[in-house]
């Protein structure tokens, strides 16, 4: 029961990073390279994210200070304002990409671009205004559960368990082709796993939730649980888009990114017949 009450900051930080742009990045990776090198890359980057986020949780529980407040207190206003400016800029860029991803997703259902953008802005405004933290956390947790959808989509793609196991154990097959595209995919997958807002959010949320040094063990469980869920969801997205790679479908010709969803779950015989 105590773990359930403390569940939240770690899960939300990790699953929150599996946002629209990240999912599109994972889908593009699967469609471009299939099951192979990038599955263990995603697993390793989430493992690194766990180390960083667990540290942020411990700092919040021990100092009772948010990440930004602690920087101001220990390193002074120069470093403090530098981190604030960095957070504002990266968050603005993130919001823009989130709205683009929501537009792409709603476009899959035939919703017009203006209505999709207005809906995205309204959702952000509604989430940020009023209410208690605990109520907002449960609302965000409910939205984060939609990551489970990608497990089902990956299952419908009928992946080979042997191929997945080989990829995770041997990091093969290695990607071939353009080095520039490969490096772009590596950067996008790393950027889809670790971002500055996660540090600010989890440490501050741990303080708001009232974590103390006695709660660190439960906080680690929360962070680990979120890490595993997010890593599996990210890998599932790569697996779900793999039929596009196996059947040599050029994803650059698919409208926006919504076409990945439409094409990846079509019967393989249809994809093959082109």
pLDDT of residue 196: 83
Instruction: State the helix-helix crossing angle for 113-128 and 77-107, rounded to 10 degrees.
Output: 140
Q: 89 lies in a domain?
A: no
Q: Tell me what pLDDT residue 42 has.
A: 93
Residue 267: pLDDT over 60: no
Most confidently modeled range among 37-46, 92-101, 243-252: 37-46
In a domain, 111, yes or no: no
Element spanning 97, H or E: helix 77-107
Tell me the mean pLDDT in the region 186-196.
Answer: 83
pLDDT tops 50 at residue 175: yes
User: Could you tell me the residue range of the domain that residue 220 belongs to?
Assistant: 2-74+133-273
HSE on the CB side for 243, CA within 13 Å? 23
Q: What is the mean pLDDT of the chain?
A: 82
Q: Is residue 127 in a domain?
A: no
Determine the Cα–Cα distance for residues 227 and 233; give it in Å rounded to an integer. 10
Torsion from C-alpha of 89, 91, 97, 101, nearest 10 degrees: -170
State the pLDDT confidence band at 202, using cuts at 50, 70 and 90.
very high
Express each pLDDT in 115-172 by its tens digit: 989 988 887 777 777 667 677 777 777 777 787 888 888 988 888 899 999 999 999 8
What pTM value is reported for the model? 0.81
The arithmetic mean of pLDDT across residues 4-12, rounded, is 74
Dihedral-angle region of residue 130 (phi above 0 means left; psi in -120 to 50 means alpha; beta otherwise): left
Over 60: is that where the pLDDT of 242 sits?
Answer: yes
Residue 39 lies in a domain: yes
Return the HEC string of 48-72: HHHHHHHHHHHHHHHHCCCHHHHHH
Ranges 63-72, 97-106, 202-211: which has the least confidence = 97-106
Residue 255: which pLDDT band, with cuts at 50, 70 and 90?
very low
Q: Is residue 214 part of a domain?
A: yes
- Total domains in the chain come to 1
Q: Evaluate if residue 195 carries a pLDDT over 90.
A: no
In a domain, 88, yes or no: no
Does residue 109 fall inside a structural domain? no
Segment 26-44, tens digit of pLDDT: 988 998 898 889 999 999 9
Q: What is the pLDDT of residue 55?
A: 93
Task: Provide the pLDDT for residue 130.
Answer: 61
Residue 118 lies in a domain: no
Question: What's the pLDDT band for 99 if we cut at 50, 70, 90?
Answer: confident
The pLDDT assigned to 158 comes to 87
């Amino acid at each position: 029961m105590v773990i359930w009450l403390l569940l939240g900051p770690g899960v939300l930080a990790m699953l929150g990073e599996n946002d629209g742009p990240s999912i599109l990045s994972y889908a593009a990776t699967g469609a471009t390279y299939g099951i192979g090198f990038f599955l263990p890359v995603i697993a390793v980057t989430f493992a690194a994210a766990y180390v960083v986020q667990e540290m942020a949780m411990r700092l919040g529980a021990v100092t009772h200070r948010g990440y930004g407040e602690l920087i101001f207190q220990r390193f002074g206003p120069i470093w403090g304002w530098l981190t604030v400016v960095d957070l504002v800029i990266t968050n603005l860029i993130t919001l823009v990409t989130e709205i683009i991803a929501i537009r792409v997703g709603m476009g899959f259902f035939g919703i017009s671009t203006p209505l999709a953008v207005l809906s995205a802005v309204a959702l952000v405004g509604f989430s940020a205004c009023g209410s208690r933290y605990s109520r907002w956390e449960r609302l965000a947790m409910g939205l984060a559960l939609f990551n489970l959808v990608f497990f089902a989509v990956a299952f419908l793609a009928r992946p080979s368990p042997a191929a997945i196991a080989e990829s995770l154990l041997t990091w093969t097959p290695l990607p071939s082709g353009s080095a520039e595209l490969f490096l772009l995919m590596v950067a996008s997958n790393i950027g889809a796993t670790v971002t500055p807002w996660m540090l600010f959010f989890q440490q501050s949320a741990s303080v708001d939730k009232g974590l103390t040094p006695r709660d660190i063990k439960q906080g680690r469980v929360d962070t680990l649980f979120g890490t595993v869920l997010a890593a599996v969801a990210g890998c599932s997205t790569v697996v779900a888009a793999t039929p596009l790679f196996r059947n040599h479908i050029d994803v650059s010709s698919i409208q926006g990114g919504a076409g990945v969803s439409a094409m990846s779950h079509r019967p393989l015989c249809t994809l093959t017949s082109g």
